[in-house]
């Protein structure tokens, strides 16, 4: 089971920040073989949802209040370490993220930009596809919303 932390950017320890950036880089740059700018200048506006095990971030998302990323509240950079997949940590970190949006931002409508192959996963969490698919950094994506 994950130990879940919700932190503002300014509250992250150096070790937590390094661990979450390493996880994001391992997945979104190395594993997916995608050269893109992960450090997009938006981390300081986000709340960071950390799924911790043994002092390391093994699951992660960042959430935004309405207007800071999309018009709606949003969840992004959903990541689970390769060695910790298929055991429910993706659902656990997403449930914690949805709960944080509802409790902290007092919003029920949440938008995300999903990699298309994860549509079923997000459907099971209550998200529905909207619009047409598109390429983001060369990877097929679709926007999804949960009301």
If you search the block for the tokens 């298309």, which residue do you land on?
A: 116
Q: So what's the pLDDT on residue 16?
A: 96
Q: Do residues 29 and 132 lie in contact, with contact meaning Cβ atoms separated by under 8 Å? A: no
Global pTM reads 0.94
Among left, alpha and beta (phi > 0; psi -120 to 50; other), residue 55 is: left
Q: What percent of the chain has pLDDT over 90?
A: 86
Q: Is the pLDDT of residue 1 over 80?
A: no
The separation between CA 75 and the C-alpha centre of its own chain, rounded to angstroms, equals: 5
The per-residue pLDDT for range 17-26, each reduced to its tens digit, is 999 999 999 9
Query: Tokens in use for 123?
Result: 């459907």
Weakest mean pLDDT among 32-36, 61-65, 111-115? 32-36
Here the contacts of 36-42 (C-beta below 8 Å, separation 24 or greater) are: 36/137, 38/77, 42/68, 42/69
Question: Would strands 73-80 and 128-136 be described as parallel, antiparallel, or unpaired?
Answer: unpaired
Apex CA 33: angle with CA 41 and CA 38, to 5°? Answer: 5
Instruction: Give 32's pLDDT tier (boundaries 50, 70, 90).
Output: confident
More confident residue, 35 or 110: 110
Q: What residue ranges define each of the domains in the chain, with the CATH number in brackets?
A: 3-106 (3.40.630.30)
Strand ranges (DSSP E) for 9-109? Answer: 47-53, 56-64, 73-80
- Mean pLDDT across 77-95: 95
Q: Do residues 89 and 43 lie in contact, with contact meaning Cβ atoms separated by under 8 Å? A: no
């Amino acid at each position: 089971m994950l130990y879940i932390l919700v932190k503002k950017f300014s509250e992250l320890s150096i070790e937590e920040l390094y661990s979450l950036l390493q996880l994001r880089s391992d997945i979104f740059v190395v594993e997916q073989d995608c050269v893109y700018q992960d450090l997009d200048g938006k981390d300081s506006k986000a709340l960071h949802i950390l799924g911790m095990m043994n002092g390391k971030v093994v699951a992660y998302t960042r959430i935004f209040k309405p207007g800071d990323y999309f018009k709606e509240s949003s969840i992004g950079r959903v990541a689970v370490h390769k060695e910790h997949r298929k055991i429910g940590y993706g659902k656990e970190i997403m449930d914690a993220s949805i709960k944080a949006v509802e409790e902290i931002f007092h919003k029920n409508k949440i938008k995300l930009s999903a990699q298309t192959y994860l549509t079923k996963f997000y459907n099971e969490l209550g998200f529905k596809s909207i619009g047409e698919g598109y390429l983001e950094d060369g990877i097929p994506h679709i926007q999804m919303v949960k009301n």
